[in-house]
Structure 1
Amino acid sequence: YILIFGKLGLPALGIIGAAVATIIARIIEMLVVIIWSIRHSNTHTYFKGMYRTIKVPLNLVWKYFITGIPLLLNEGLWSIGIVMLNQAYSMRGLNVVAGQSIANTINNIFNIVFIAMGDAVAIIIGQHLGSGDMKKARDEDTKIIAFSIFTSIIIGSIMFCTSGFFPKLYKTNELARLVATHFIMVQAIVMPKDAFLHTTYFTIRAGGKTIITFLFDSFFMLAVSVPIAHILIRCTTLGPVTVFALVHCADLIKCVVGYILNKKGVWLNNIVQ
C-alpha cells in the first residue's frame, strides 16, 4: 500500500512498488525463519549445524532427486495447465478475464481452510508415517479429510451467499462483476470437492508416491481438463462459466480414483527408512 500509492512520504511506484514490496516481504520471511531456527536450536535439535555447511551427502542428493523430480515436473506442468485453462476462458472476452481474476482472488481467500488442511496432512501424517505408526496415520488422515470437507461445506456456503458482494469492491464494469459473481458461485459449490482432492493429494504425497501424484495432478490437468475447456470453448456456444463448471465436473473422476487409492492405502509408506 505504501509503495504502490506513495504514502508516508515515499514516491508512488505503482506496479513497481508491488514488486518491490513482494521482494521485501520474502526477504523478511527468510530472515524470520533463519533467526527463529537458530534461536530454537536447543529445543528443536534438528536445527543444530543446519547453516554450518551447504554440503549434502551424494547419496542423499540422489534420493531427494529421485523422489522430488516428479514433484518439480508436476508443479511446472500444473502451472502451464492453469495458463492454458485461463487462455481458453479468455477467448470469451476481456470481461471474462476481469471476472475470473476477481473470482480467483476471492476464492484464494476462502479456500485457505482446506489449503491449511493439506499442510496438516503433510505434517501430521508424514510424522506418523515416519514413525511407522500406519494405523494412526490412516485414522488421523481420515479425520483430517472429513474435517476439511465439512469445513469447506460451511465456508463454501458463506462464499456462495456473499458472491455478489465482493465484485462490487472492484472498479470495473457491471458485466465483469456479473461474470465474477457467477465464477465465485461455481467455486463455492465445488469447494468440498476441491477440499477432498487437495487433502487426498497431500496424503498420497506424504507417502512418497510422487509418480502417482504427478498423474493425479498435472497429468490429469493437461490430458483431461485443458482439452475439455478448449473443445467446449472453440466448438460450442456455451458460456465461460458453464465451461468452467463442466471442467470442474471432470474432477469427479479424480475424486473416485483418489478415494480408491486412499482406501487401498498405497500411501502407507515410510520414506525415511
Structure 2
Amino acid sequence: MEQKNHFYKTMLAIAIPVAIQNLITSSLNMLDTLMISSLGDITLAGVGLANQVFFFYILICFGINTGSSVLVSQYWGRKDTANVQRVTGFAIALCTGFGLLFTMIALLFPNFIMGLLTRDPEVIASGSRYLQVVSLSYIMTSVSFAFGTSLRSTGAPNRPLYASIVGFFTNAIFNYLLIFGIGFLPRLGVVGAALGTVIARFVEFMMILWYTFRYKGPINASFKQFFNFDQTFIQQYIEIVSPVILNETFWSLGQVLYNIAYAMTGTESTAAVQIVASIQNILFVLVRGLANSCTIMIGSSVGRGETEEAYDLGLRFIKIVIILGIIIGTSVVLGRDILLMAFPSLSPTVRHISSQLFIVIGLFYVLKAFNSIIVVGILRGGGDTRFSMFMETFAVWLVGVPLAFIGAKFLGLPILWVMSMVLMDEVVKAIVGFMRFRSQKWIHVIK
C-alpha cells in the first residue's frame, strides 16, 4: 500500500506541474486562435499554416530535450551532477543552432514557405506577415524549453510552470492590445498576434533564466560546466538522443504533410483543423504530463538498475492512460458542440466541419493517449530510442502520409474521411508499441 501511494505521489508531483504548464501553453494557442478567428477564415487559415513552421521546429527541439531528459533522468538517478549539466548544455547548443536556422528561413523566405503549404494567395499573404514576426521568438522558446526540461527531470517542475503562467498572461494581454488596437495602440491584426507572442516568449525566457541561476540546484552551473564536452560524452549523447531528434523530425514533417493534404480539401476545412487542433492540445495536457512523469520515473529506475520496477511502472501508466483516454474521448464526442461554443465568430460551414472532426478525434483519443505513453514515456524512458524512431517513422510515412494524399488528392474525399484515414497510423503504432513493451527489450541501462 505504501509503495502504491509513493507511486501516485511521485507521478502526480511531476505530472501535475507539467500538465498545468501544457494547459497554459495550449490555452494560449486556443486564445490566439479565438482572437484571430474574429479576423476571418482566411487569416485563421494563414496563421494556422504559418505555425506549422514553428510546429516543425519545436518538435525537433522536443526531440532534443526528450532525448536529453532520458540521459538527465538516469544521471540524476545516480546523482551524477556533472553529466546532468553537460547534457543540458548540449541541448541548449543544439536548440540554439536549429533556432538560428529556422529564424533565418522564416525571415528571408516567408512567401516561399507559405507557398509550400497552400496555393491560396490571400492565405499566403496573411501567413507570411505573421511568420516573419513570430520567428523572432524561436530561439528564446527553445532555450527556455531546454532549461525547463532539465529542471523537471531533476525535481524542480514548478519553476518552468511559474514562467509559463506569467508568459500566458503576458501573451493574452499583448495579443488583445495589439490585434484589436486599444487607445493609442494601432490595430495591427495578424502582425499584432505575432508581436504578442514574441513579447510573451521573451518574458518567459527571462524568468526561466532567473529561476535557474537564482536558486541552487544541479542546473545552476557555469558556462564551462554546461559546455565541457569530450568525445566520449558526445558519442553517448548522439547514440541516445539522435534517434529521438530524427524521430521528431520525421514525425513533424509528416504532420506538416498531413496539413498540406488537409488544405487540399478547402480553406474552410483548413480553418476547422486549426480550431480542432487548438482544443485537442488542451485535451492532451494531462496525457503529456503523465508521459513526462513516465519518462522521468522509468529513466530513474533504469538508471538505478531496477529493471523489474521499470516494467511495472510502465504497466501502471498504461492502465491509467487507457481509462483516462476512454473517459476524455467519450466526453469529446458527446460534448463537441459545447466545446465549439468557445468560438462564436466561426462561419456556419467551419463550425459544421469542426463538429464532425471532433467525432473522429474523440474516437481515436484513447489510441493517441496510449501511444504517447508507449513512445514518449516507456520506450524513451527506457533508452529504447532507436526502436521508437523506426516504429513512428514507419507508421507516419508508410501509413499516414500515403493515406492522407490518397484521400485528399486522388479520391477527393472530404476532410472528415481524410483525417480518419490518417489516424490509421495510430492503430499501427499501438499494435507494434505494445508488442515491444511486452518483450521488455526496451530497457537499456546507460553506462
The alignment's TM-score, normalised by the length of structure 1, stands at: 0.89
Would you say the 8 A contact 2:400–2:424 is kept in 1?
no
Residue aligned with 2:332, SS: helix
Do structure 1's residue 129 and structure 2's residue 306 form an aligned pair? no
* 1-structure distance, mates of 2:208, 2:363: 37
The equivalent of 1:113 in structure 2 is 286
The equivalent of 2:156 in structure 1 is none
CA deviation string 1:168-216 (max 9, x = no partner): 4142321211111111111011111001101000211122222212112
Specify which of 188, 192, 210 is matched with residue 362 of structure 2: 188
Specify which of 231, 234, 238 is matched with residue 406 of structure 2: 231
The alignment's TM-score, normalised by the length of structure 2, stands at: 0.56
The equivalent of 1:265 in structure 2 is 440
The equivalent of 1:99 in structure 2 is 272
Residues 1-273 of structure 1 aligned to structure 2 (within 5 Å): 1-7=176-182, 10-41=185-216, 44=217, 46-53=218-225, 54-168=227-341, 169-202=343-376, 203-271=378-446, 273=447
* 1-structure distance, mates of 2:401, 2:194: 30
Please state how far the C-alpha of 1:248 moved relative to its aligned partner. 1.5
Please state how far the C-alpha of 1:236 moved relative to its aligned partner. 2.6
* 2-structure distance, mates of 1:7, 1:118: 41
* 1-structure distance, mates of 2:386, 2:194: 35
CA deviation string 1:59-113 (max 9, x = no partner): 2122212322222222222221111112112222222111111111111111112
Unaligned runs of 5+ in 2: 1-175
Residues 125, 174 of structure 1: alpha-carbon distance in 2 compared, 3 angstrom cutoff: same
Query: 1 or 2, which has the higher helix percentage?
Result: 2
* 2-structure distance, mates of 1:100, 1:218: 23
Residues 264, 3 of structure 1: alpha-carbon distance in 2 compared, 3 angstrom cutoff: same
Would you say the 8 A contact 2:384–2:443 is kept in 1?
no
C-alpha RMSD of matched pairs (Å): 2.1
Query: Counterpart of 2:302 in structure 1: which amino acid?
Result: L
Please state how far the C-alpha of 1:8 moved relative to its aligned partner. 7.0
Would you say the 8 A contact 1:37–1:47 is kept in 2?
yes
Residue aligned with 2:345, SS: coil
* 1-structure distance, mates of 2:234, 2:250: 23
After TM superposition, the structure 1 stretch with the greater mean CA deviation from structure 2, 13-22 or 173-182, is: 13-22
* 1-structure distance, mates of 2:209, 2:412: 54
Would you say the 8 A contact 1:74–1:218 is kept in 2?
yes
* 2-structure distance, mates of 1:50, 1:153: 47
Query: Counterpart of 1:258 in structure 2: which amino acid?
Result: G
Residues 217, 7 of structure 1: alpha-carbon distance in 2 compared, 3 angstrom cutoff: farther
* 2-structure distance, mates of 1:73, 1:250: 18
Please state how far the C-alpha of 1:122 moved relative to its aligned partner. 1.4
- Percent identical: 27
